[in-house]
Each structure stands twice: as structure tokens, then as C-alpha cells.
Amino acid sequence: MIVNPVKRVYLALESWFNLSFGTEWNPLYHLGTLSFFLFWVILISGIYLFIPFHGSVAGAHASVEYMTHEQWYAAGIMRSLHRYASDAVVITVLLHMFKEFASGRYRGFRWFSWVTGVPNLWMLVTLGITGYWLVWDELAQYIAVGSAQLMDALPIFSGAMTRNFVSGGMTDRFFILIEFLHLLGQPLILVFMLWLHVTRLSNVNINPPRGLAMGTFFALLALSLYQPALSHAPASLDRVPLELHIDWFYLNVYPLLEIWPAQQVWILTTSVTLLLMALPWLLPKKDGAKAVVDLEHCNGCGLCFEDCPFDAITVQARTDGARYEHEVVVNPSLCGACGICAGSCPASNPFRSARETLKTGIDMPQLPVDEMRRLVRETVAAMPGDIKILVFGCEHGLNVDRLEREGTRGLRLICSGMLPPTLVEYALKLGADGVMVTGCRQNDCFYRFGNSWTRLRFAGERKPSLRTRAERERIRIHGAADPDLRSIEADLAEFRQHLLELNRAAASGATGTE
């Protein structure tokens, strides 16, 4: 199987993080929620810093110096937390973009989230720039002059920034404008952009695991104590700064102004932005057939609505005059074609209509539940060996064809979440000794919740759940990607031995009874 090199790099990085942090606390699985947590740290520390801050040209630098040195144990630490959390959120956002690109989660139906996500990075950068500006030290002066050059390169300003601002000196009125932008204007725009970014997702979680959040906070706190954030000398527009310590996360554009005209810097940044936003169409991916509702077999229970990861399903009043009160409707433009809804439908029970075509309330045209049932029946019947293990995989996890051995066969689904729990019990009833369900790596489902919903359904914590009479000791879940082949093969070998012992115990019990 060919894996693109970018994805290979990401999977290797993810594997290393799994070894270092474990799958539950792996930061790469929680980049979005971790970014929201860092926003909270930035917000709370920023509010604290605003209290002693003096928002004027004459008082800004002195008030920041007071916080840094005189009240280092409180405001000084808060300033450092504010600085390092701001840098960290750029890292998490960049990693989030890299992860989504490497995993192919920016194309097809996901184009909207990608296109609305790219501008958020630039909103973060401009927010950081105005934050550095407020310190009004030599670095802020450097930013002010550079920003004036960039603004003057736009036709709307036409030289007014340099002439009226830099040459005329920084005024309190302009300083208050920057303060307003940093404290209120830009944050409000960013909040709106973040809302827009996730508006097509359902069950959005903004809280990382508690342990990961605490570890991140204490790491930032330790860094703040070890290397406090410091200011440069006070700004003076009649003096050119000789030495500057650039924060490359936020101020990487400004050094380019020393070698390029401002117009070329604008061309570069605009081109990079447009290129990133055009990626879903430059590297297109065709989505599969969308989910289809069969009202004749839909009772409007809404389980598919609750499980849909992309808010593509709505519940509305019944339109066909049936005795049920509600029906579900699929919005094709939002549907990810993952099939999780088919796995959540109570009608997707393979024990129903054994001699007829199995009809369910919502299904996937490219792999209907009835076809899944047929494949299970034929695969188990043709499987050789004393111990028969059926492995269900997904399109974006480990290729289960690589696991086929004597007594082991794989069936590939669109997503592990489309597997009805009763289909596993059906496979066991047909003669499979055990069933393993793989998918994407745990906590990193391509379709967001496929792994999670499957685990909860099998544990009886989410409907439709695996029936209590099912032999759970013959069922195993192991999320994996292609680099995890050895790990899952070892788990299969251990599972096979476990099943052998179960069969022996069952045989000896039957003999004793006779």
C-alpha cells in the first residue's frame, strides 16, 4: 500500500508521541481542544495584566517594567504565561493544519473547515503583533515602523501611515486604538472565526483531557519561572534599535522588509494564504455516495442524528403520513459519507429478515448493511483453520488485507463506526471464534467519532449497544494505522491463544456435562 510521504512523516511523529504520552494524552489527538485551553490561559492572564497596565505612550513601558520586575511573583509570571501561551497556540494551530493536511482531512466535504481555518492563523498573528506593540519598547517601535511600511504599500493608505504616524510620533490616541484592537476588536473577530470554523461539526468539544491541560499549564508555568519574558529598552522614534530579539512565531514577516519592498512582502503572504485556501481544489478528493434515508424503515428515533459527526442529519416532522412522529433528513453537502449513521440505526440488525434483503432506515449506497451481512456470511463460511478470526477494518486505518493468514480474514468498511454491533454477534453465531474491530488509531478517527462510538456501543454505553448475551470475551478492539502492523499482529496472536483456551474450556465443560 502506497502512503504519501507527508502522511508517513505525520504517522511517525504520532507514533513517537504515543510512546511518550500514551494514546489518551497524546497532544496530536487534542490539538484543537489544546488550542482552546491556551486561549483561556491567554485570556485570563491578559485580563490580569490589563489591570495595572497604563495605556499611554508615556506610561506603557514603565507599567510593563513594573509588572515584570517589581511584581514578578504575580504580574510578572502572568506576563510570561501570556507570552508563552501565545507562542504555544501558534504551534498547536500549525500542527493542527499539518495534521489535517497530512491525513487528507481538508478536501471534499471538509473544504469549509479548512478554508475558514486558514485565516484564523493570520488573525492570531495580527493579535500577537498588536500585543507586542502595546509594550512600546524598541521591538514595538520596530513593529510600528514595519507595519507603517506595510500599510503604506496598500492603495487605501498611500503613504499616510509613515507620514502621519512614524514621522509625527506615536500619539496616545493611536495607542488607544491599538489597545482597543488587541483587547476587544481582534478577539471578537477571532471568536467569530472560530465559531465559523466548527459550525459544520457536531458534538464539538473544547476541553482537552484534564491531565494534558494540567501538564501543559505547569510546563508553561515552569518556563515562565525559568525564563521570564522581558522587554527591550523604551521606544524612541529618533533612535534606531541596534539589537532586537524577534519572536519568530509572530514577527517573521518584518525582517523581510529589510531585503524586500513592502509590496513583495504582501505578494508573498497573500500568495501563501491563497495557496493554502485553494488546496482542497488543487488536490481534490471525490467523496463517496452520501447516506440515503428509507422512510419505510425509519421510525425517526434520531440516533443517527446524535451520532453524525458533521451535523449533516436533521430531525423533522413526518412527511409520509406514517404512524411515527419524526423522520430524519440528510443534507448531502454536509454528509461525509462515513456510514456511522448506518451503524447507529436500530433497523441495521442482521438477524432481521434472514431470507430477504435487509432494509434499514438509513444506509450507504456503496456498502449497504445487507451487503455487509452477505460478506460476513460468505467470509466466515469460507474461512479455514481451527480458530477463525474475522477482522473488521476501515478505509483510513490499517489495511486489514495485510492481516489475512490461516484462520484470519479481513473485511474493509468505510469507517469502523458503520459496523452495527449486532453484526459482530451475527459473525460469532455463524461460526467465527472471535471478531477484532480495527479502525483508525484510537482518538484519531478520520471521521471524528467512529472509534469512540464503536467502543461505547460495545460497552453498552451508547445505543444501539451490543446485546448483553453477546460473548464479549470473543470480541476485541484495536485501532491502528499501517505502521502498527507488528503491534496488531502480536495482539492477534495473543487473541488467537485466548480463543483457543475459551474453546478448550467450552469443550471440556460440554464433555463434563455429558
**What is the maximum alpha-carbon separation in the chain?**
103
Say how far apart CA 258 and CA 252 lie, in whole Å.
12
Here the contacts of 114-118 (C-beta below 8 Å, separation 24 or greater) are: 114/277, 114/279, 114/280, 115/277, 115/280, 116/193, 116/196, 116/197, 117/197, 118/273, 118/276, 118/277
Radius of gyration (C-alpha) of the chain in whole angstroms? 29
Helices (H), 369-463: 369-382, 421-430, 450-458
Q: Return the CATH number of the domain spanning residue range 288-345+358-364.
A: 3.30.70.3270
Determine the pLDDT at residue 157: 66
CA-CA-CA-CA torsion sign (193, 194, 198, 203)? negative
Q: Which helix (H) or strand (E) holds 391?
A: strand 389-394
Distances (CA, A) of 175 to 54, 58, 182: 11, 10, 11
Distances (CA, A) of 346 to 226, 342, 351, 427: 57, 9, 11, 18
Determine the pLDDT at residue 322: 84
Q: Rounded to 5 degrees, what angle do the CA atoms 385, 438, 341 make?
A: 120
**What does the buried/exposed string (b/e) look like for 295-327 if buried means 16 or more CB atoms within 10 Å of the residue's CB?**
bebbbbbebbbbbbbbbbbeeeeeeeeeeeeeb
Q: Which of 361, 388, 386, 394 lies closest to 480 in space, CA to CA?
A: 394
Residue listed under C-alpha cell 507603517: 148
| Domain positions in the chain | 5-282, 288-345+358-364, 367-514
Say how far apart CA 412 and CA 217 lie, in whole Å.
41
Determine the pLDDT at residue 298: 94
Distances (CA, A) of 193 to 36, 123, 132, 207: 13, 9, 22, 18
Which CATH architecture does the domain made up of 5-282 adopt?
Answer: Up-down Bundle (1.20)
Q: Which helix (H) or strand (E) holds 293?
A: strand 292-293
Same fold, 5-282 and 288-345+358-364: no
What one-letter code names the amino acid at 379?
T
Determine the pLDDT at residue 164: 54
Determine the pLDDT at residue 1: 43
Say how far apart CA 387 and CA 503 lie, in whole Å.
9
- All 3 cell numbers of residue 38? 491556551
Determine the pLDDT at residue 406: 87
- All 3 cell numbers of residue 74? 504575580
Strand partners, 137: 234
pTM here is 0.92
CB atoms inside a 10 Å sphere around CB 43: 13
| Per-block mean pLDDT, blocks of 10 residues, the chain (514 long) | 75 92 92 96 96 92 96 96 97 96 94 96 95 95 90 75 58 87 94 95 93 96 97 87 91 94 95 96 92 95 96 94 92 96 95 83 96 96 93 94 92 96 95 95 92 94 91 93 91 96 86 53
- Asked if the bond preceding 155 is cis, omega within 30° of 0, the reply is no
